[in-house]
Amino acid sequence: MCIVGGGPAGLVLALLLVRHGIGVAVLEKHEDFLRDFRGDTVHPSTLDVMDELGLGDRIRELPHRQVDGLRVAFADGTYQMVDFTRLEVAHPYLMFLPQWDFLEMLAREAEAHPSFTLLRSHEVVDLVREEGAVQGVVARTAEGTVEVGARLTVAADGRDSIVRGKLGLRRREFGAPMDVLWFRVSRRPADGEGLDMHVGPGRLLLAIDRGEYWQIAYVIPKGGYERVVAAGLDGFRESVARLFPVLVDRVGEIGEWEDVKVLTVQLDRLRRWHAPGALLIGDAAHAMSPVGGVGVNLAVQDAVATARLLADPLRARQLDEDALARVQARRAFPTAGTQLMQRFVQRALVGRLLAADGPVTAPLAVKLLAKVPALQELPARLVGVGLRPERVGPTALGSAPG
Ligand SMILES: Cc1cc2nc3c(=O)[nH]c(=O)nc-3n(C[C@H](O)[C@H](O)[C@H](O)COP(=O)(O)OP(=O)(O)OC[C@H]3O[C@@H](n4cnc5c(N)ncnc54)[C@H](O)[C@@H]3O)c2cc1C
């Protein structure tokens, strides 16, 4: 079989399937995994999966930060809204880990299996189709075009999936009131630590403690990037310093607009995740809102469910479209449920805060969460564990062949 895309969904799926002894080729358009500002959050549910795979210690050895809650600063004070330490799970925290380290670790682990092939710098540009079914892919490489045949093609090629486009699969789009500007500014220990949101008139800023630096998500009204640029870099720096005053002497580190990466927020999902010979998972099947930072984790959970449901039919060479439909049936509920929560937060909180034109005080729900700490377990559970967390199952647990 072949997997298009060596992101979290593609590489977790590949690792699980090669542990089942199934031959897998992953085609990745980039030469390496070095991309800045990707989903770097690893949630308790993903850490459970890593433990099950015997990779728990390896992942914790990679340079990372742990965050155990979320505080939000309004004009009338700072309120704790989420507390991961209340979760009765093996890892009651969010781990922030560069996605490239995570992906390199997965790729190295998979490469220990002879049935794994990682084809870097292979950009899939078309599908091979015979008798109405997908039978593999066509990829562009530095040496020319190659064809990779496969009984099953899994598209894990992200939110702009080429496979989805070629199959003409339709999405339900839900829209979002915001876009996000990502950048970094150096951090000093005296700044504080953890995860803080700062709310100002028409702007939100999420500061993520990444050790040496703050990773900043500056949330703006949808389509508002041109207006931010028109207001000038100095205006932008001032706005950042107003929202997060400890950065006032460092906002100059945002040297040019190239330092700021724009994430156009999308929230959508496919009506049908499969076609004869092809299945779509992760962002390719459902682009998530950044609310809760759940994109990586849902992608990993999709991969775990796919491997568990398809390994036997793949080995027995009895894979039909019903088996692919079972993956969608399994993952449709957590996807739709998570998106429903994201849409609620986008509408009830983010949209309203972004529409404010004066100082913003904490809404009642925020004050209630802060006053009754036990309630903070609910958002922690929805984000950290999610709906219907997946288990790897016994057959893929083993490590690399001896
Ligand atoms: C700026 C930004 C910030 C984000 N922040 C967070 C966050 O904090 N937390 C979080 O959980 N999520 C976050 N996300 C979302 C998160 O990165 C995704 O949800 C997650 O990576 C999805 O995993 P995936 O494997 O489905 O797809 P992707 O990670 O998108 O991986 C797709 C892979 O396919 C490859 N590919 C694409 N097209 C082709 C092709 N034609 N041929 C071959 N290979 C191809 C790509 O190079 C990529 O490696 C963020 C996303 C962005 C863009």
Give the pLDDT confidence of 129-141 residue by residue, as tens digits: 999 999 999 999 9
Mean pLDDT to the nearest integer, 163-172: 97
Distance 304 CA to ligand 1 centre (A): 17
Q: What is the mean pLDDT of the chain?
A: 95
Is there a single domain that holds both residue 190 and residue 289? no
The 10 Å Cβ neighbour count of residue 370 is: 18
The domain tally of the chain equals 2
Domain-embedded: residue 52: yes
Is there a single domain that holds both residue 284 and residue 258? no
pLDDT (tens digit per residue) in 280-319? 999 999 999 999 999 999 999 999 999 999 999 999 999 9
Domain-embedded: residue 401: no
The answer, yes or no, to whether any atom of ligand 1 lies below 6 A from the CB of 30, is: yes
Q: By CB neighbour count within 10 A (0-12 exposed, 13-18 middle, 19+ buried), where does 85 fall? A: exposed
Domain-embedded: residue 273: yes
Percentage of the chain modeled with pLDDT above 90: 94
Q: Which residue has the tokens 């805060």?
A: 353
Give the residue, by CA position, lying nearest to ligand 1 atom 41: 124
Candidate from 38, 49, 286, 298 with most ligand 1 atoms within 8 A of CB, to mutate: 38
pLDDT band at 39 (very low <50, low <70, confident <90, very high): confident
Is there a single domain that holds both residue 12 and residue 120? yes
pLDDT (tens digit per residue) in 59-113? 999 999 999 999 999 999 999 999 999 999 999 999 999 999 999 999 999 999 9
Candidate from 154, 182, 183, 283 with most ligand 1 atoms within 8 A of CB, to mutate: 283
Give the residue, by CA position, lying nearest to ligand 1 atom 17: 39
Q: By CB neighbour count within 10 A (0-12 exposed, 13-18 middle, 19+ buried), where does 281 fall? A: buried
SS3 52: helix
The answer, yes or no, to whether any atom of ligand 1 lies below 6 A from the CB of 98, is: no
pLDDT band at 393 (very low <50, low <70, confident <90, very high): confident
pLDDT band at 33 (very low <50, low <70, confident <90, very high): confident
Q: Which residues contact 283 (CB under 8 A, 6 or more apart)?
A: 7, 9, 158, 159, 161, 295, 299
Structure tokens at 239: 């706005």
Domain-embedded: residue 398: no
Distance 363 CA to ligand 1 centre (A): 33
Residue 401 has pLDDT above 70, yes or no: no
Is there a single domain that holds both residue 308 and residue 216? no
The answer, yes or no, to whether any atom of ligand 1 lies below 6 A from the CB of 290, is: yes
CB 336 within 8 A of CB 166: no
Q: How far, in Å, CA of 176 to CA of 344, rounded?
A: 11
Is there a single domain that holds both residue 217 and residue 275? no
Range(s) of the domain holding residue 241: 178-221+224-263
Q: What confidence score (pLDDT) does residue 395 get? A: 60
Q: What confidence score (pLDDT) does residue 398 get? A: 53
Q: Which atom of ligand 1 is nearest to the CA of 293?
A: 9
Is there a single domain that holds both residue 253 and residue 272? no
Beta-ladder partners of 149: 136
Domain-embedded: residue 337: yes
The answer, yes or no, to whether any atom of ligand 1 lies below 6 A from the CB of 209, is: no
Q: What confidence score (pLDDT) does residue 122 get? A: 98
Is there a single domain that holds both residue 64 and residue 123? yes
* CATH classification at residue 79: 3.50.50.60
Q: Which atom of ligand 1 is nearest to the CA of 103?
A: 49
Q: What confidence score (pLDDT) does residue 400 get? A: 47
Is there a single domain that holds both residue 150 and residue 273? yes
Q: Are strands 24-27 and 116-119 parallel, antiparallel or unpaired?
A: parallel
Domain-embedded: residue 22: yes
More confidently predicted of 60 and 400:
60
Q: What confidence score (pLDDT) does residue 323 get? A: 97
SS3 379: helix
Domain-embedded: residue 399: no
Is there a single domain that holds both residue 245 and residue 387? no
Is there a single domain that holds both residue 196 and residue 276? no
Q: How far, in Å, CA of 320 to CA of 370, rounded?
A: 51
pLDDT (tens digit per residue) in 2-23? 999 999 999 999 999 999 999 9
Mean pLDDT to the nearest integer, 152-165: 97
Q: What confidence score (pLDDT) does residue 102 get? A: 96
Is there a single domain that holds both residue 26 and residue 66? yes
Is there a single domain that holds both residue 9 and residue 54? yes
Residue 402 has pLDDT above 50, yes or no: no
Q: By CB neighbour count within 10 A (0-12 exposed, 13-18 middle, 19+ buried), where does 232 fall? A: exposed
Domain-embedded: residue 397: no
Distance 160 CA to ligand 1 centre (A): 9
Residue 28 has pLDDT above 70, yes or no: yes
pLDDT (tens digit per residue) in 250-282? 999 999 999 999 999 999 999 999 999 999 999
